[in-house]
Structure 1
């Protein structure tokens, strides 16, 4: 068994590569690594479009608040996958920038609900519209069914990563 000319390992009679992995999973790992690297850079760019002082991780919080409305900080931390201290620091920074506000949770006086301010909503909407236009342009040669299938598969991947 040897590596092919394109850098991919060649399958042996067992169907596995010399490293013991299915080539489909090796290819998937490579493509996801590239996608996630580009995604992190893209997320940082989008965050700076919302506000020049915004760190990239905060963009996901703003999108979640835009889509779901008021959320507890603990719910946001669980969704994003960060600890309470990290979430508190990010929310404090967003609050200082005037993009989010906190209010007491009427169901639990010890908890706070976080929501986008009007300015936060305006800025997030502007960036999301620009991002969607970029996707439409990048995928203009794709059939709409292919775009729908990609969305379905990425959603399935996201659900699997929540576990």
Structure 2
């Protein structure tokens, strides 16, 4: 690529990234407004929902795997699991190969509540995004 063509390509990429960054900020803001205007968080808070959704999608996991999947410190994931366990939404059992590790499994009630929130979120997000073009 000649110098001028490269500069134009870089400017085009920068302009596209600027649009993406701005639209992402608008989308995140709309998600925050959506969250505040609904009672979905009364069923499960965001952290509870995300942890249960991760377990539902990835199956039973140990704390370190959950922490890695969620981008959390293992101690934070452990506290979240303890809170969910106290509500009866997850169960912990010793790992079959290493009894020092615990495997976290969602309970039927945990999966039911997660699915309820997932469905309500999907419905609300569909309304939020209604009218958006593919562009």
Scaled by the length of structure 2, the TM-score of the pair is 0.74
| Unmatched tracts of structure 1, length 5 or more | 1-13, 151-163
Residues 24-39 of structure 1 aligned to structure 2 (within 5 Å) = 24-39=16-31
Instruction: Give 1:35 deviation, angstroms.
Output: 2.5
Cα distance between partner residues in 2 of 1:102 and 1:40: 32
Higher fraction of helix: 2
* Gap regions ≥5 residues in structure 2: 1-6
Deviation at 1:33, TM superposition (A): 2.4
Q: Is the 8 A contact 2:63 2:77 kept in 1?
A: yes
- In 1, Cα distance between equivalents of 2:34 and 2:130: 19
Aligned residues: 126
1:49-79 superposed Cα distances (whole Å, 9 cap, x missing partner)? 433xx4x223211111122221111111001
Mark the CA change 1:67 to 1:42 in structure 2 (over 3 Å): closer, same or farther. Answer: farther
Question: Aligned to 1:48, which of 36, 41, 46?
Answer: 41
Q: Compute the TM-score of the two structures, normalised by the length of structure 1.
A: 0.63
Hey, what's the Cα distance between the residues in 2 that align with 1:115 and 1:41? Answer: 32
Asked if the contact 2:94/2:100 (under 8 Å) is kept, the reply is yes
Would you say the 8 A contact 2:90–2:104 is kept in 1? Answer: yes
**C-alpha RMSD over aligned residues:** 2.9
CA shift at 1:96, angstroms? 1.3
**Residues 2-151 of structure 1 correspond to what in structure 2 (within 5 A)?**
14-15=7-8, 16=11, 22-39=14-31, 48-51=41-44, 54=45, 56-139=46-129, 146=134
Asked whether the equivalents of residues 99 and 120 of structure 1 are also in contact (C-alpha less than 8 Å), the reply is: yes
